[in-house]
């Protein structure tokens, strides 16, 4: 027996896109993932530090082990610097890992402050379709997403169970390969309907239906909702998709915890 804390995913925030984030109609904090006793934050959007501290039970930022940033957009990266500072006690204890696409580190709009970088044990550059491991945690990046900036989703390998985070992207066929075999698929579903222009680089309900029908995960969780999704009530959309496809689909809510054991 070990007293290792149970594996879980906690949705600190479920907001996507500008209006929902700007008005904080839902929290724009990122997602907390605990696997193999390691504490990971994925996509630390605005409010992540606050939501970690106010989480019940509170999540001690000084005990974070890794931060993963899928892309540099502000609703995914805003709190990365304050989290690096907090998890290293302002640099007094050199520790922790950061995973991010090169663009977040070296691009014109790099988002990780340079003076903080040396506080970390290691910064690993995310590249497409690569596997990364640390301390018993392993994940593989997706093909590059179609999102205007360098973006990767990822799939954790939890002892053969594939737990995937399909982050921001426009729909393309290659998504089906990257996320094939997912047992649990968490999808950023920003829009209810496709945008007339076709130029919006986010998934809508029709896209997600297509993905879920092909991947057929054991469970799907919808999150990262824009205004049209909020108005349509995400739990209603989830129920309809689930009924149509015959798989369990739930809509995340702020603070929702998914226990993996
Ligand atoms: Zn984005």
pLDDT one-digit tens code per residue, 143-168: 999 999 999 999 999 999 999 999 99
Beta strands in the chain (DSSP E): 8-11, 31-35, 38-42, 66-68, 97-101, 122-126, 131-134, 137-141, 154-158, 161-166, 184-188, 219-223, 248-251, 257-259
Domain with residue 121: its CATH number is 3.60.15.10
CA 108 / ligand 1 centre spacing (Å): 17
Q: Ligand 1 centre and the CA of 5: distance in Å?
A: 31
Q: What is the DSSP string of 82-148?
A: HHHHHHTTTTTS---EEEEEHHHHHSTT--S-HHHHTTSSEEEEE-TT-EEEETTEEEEE-SPPBSS
Asked, for residue 108, whether it belongs to a domain, the answer is yes
Report the number of distinct structural domains present in the chain: 1
Tens digits of residue pLDDT in 4-43: 889 999 999 999 988 899 999 999 999 999 999 999 999 9
- What's the gap in Å between 174 CA and the centre of ligand 1? 18
3 pLDDT higher than 80: no
Q: How far is the CA of 4 from the centre of ligand 1 (A)?
A: 34
Residue 1 confidence (pLDDT) = 47
Q: Give pTM, 2 decimals.
A: 0.97
What's the pLDDT score for residue 18? 85
**Cα-to-centroid distance, 142 and ligand 1 (Å):** 15
Residue 1 forms part of a structural domain: no
Give residue 154's domain range.
8-259
Residue 3 lies in a domain: no
162 within a domain of the structure (yes/no)? yes
Question: Ligand 1 being an ion, which residues bring their Cβ within 5 A of it?
Answer: 73, 168
Distance CA(243)–CA(249), nearest Å, equals: 9
In a domain, 2, yes or no: no
* Centre of ligand 1 from the C-alpha of residue 2, in Å: 39
In a domain, 43, yes or no: yes
- Binned at pLDDT 50, 70 and 90, residue 2 comes out as low
Residue 166's DSSP bridge partners are 187
Q: How far is the CA of 186 from the centre of ligand 1 (A)?
A: 15
Residue 190 CA to ligand 1 center (angstroms) comes to 10
- Domain assignment present for residue 188? The answer is yes
Judge whether 240 lies within some domain: yes
For range 64-74, the mean pLDDT: 98
Output DSSP code: residue 23: T
d(CA 119, CA 229): 39
**For 216-256, what is each residue's pLDDT tens digit?**
999 999 999 999 999 999 999 999 999 999 999 999 999 99
């Amino acid at each position: 027996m070990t007293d290792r804390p149970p594996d879980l995913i906690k949705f600190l925030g479920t907001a996507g896109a500008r209006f929902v984030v700007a008005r904080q109609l839902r929290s724009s904090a990122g997602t907390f993932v605990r696997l193999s006793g390691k504490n990971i934050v994925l996509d630390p959007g605005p409010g992540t530090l606050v939501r970690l501290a106010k989480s019940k039970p509170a999540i001690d930022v000084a005990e974070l082990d890794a931060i993963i940033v899928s892309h540099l957009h502000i609703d995914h990266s805003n709190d990365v610097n304050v989290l690096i500072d907090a998890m290293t006690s302002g640099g007094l204890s050199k520790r922790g890992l950061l995973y991010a696409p090169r663009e977040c580190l070296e691009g014109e709009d790099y988002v990780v402050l340079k003076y903080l970088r040396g506080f970390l044990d290691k910064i690993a550059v995310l590249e497409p379709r690569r596997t990364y491991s640390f301390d018993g945690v392993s994940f593989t990046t997706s093909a590059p997403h179609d999102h205007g900036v360098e973006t990767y989703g990822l799939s954790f390998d939890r002892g053969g169970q594939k737990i995937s985070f399909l982050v921001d992207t426009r729909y393309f066929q290659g998504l089906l390969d990257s996320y094939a075999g997912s047992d649990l698929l968490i999808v950023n579903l920003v829009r209810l309907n496709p945008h007339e222009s076709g130029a919006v680089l986010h998934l809508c309900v029709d896209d997600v239906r297509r993905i879920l029908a092909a991947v057929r995960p054991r469970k799907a969780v919808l999150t990262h909702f824009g205004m049209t999704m909020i108005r349509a009530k995400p739990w209603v959309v989830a129920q309809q998709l689930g009924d149509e496809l015959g798989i369990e689909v739930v809509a995340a809510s702020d603070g929702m915890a998914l226990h993996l054991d």
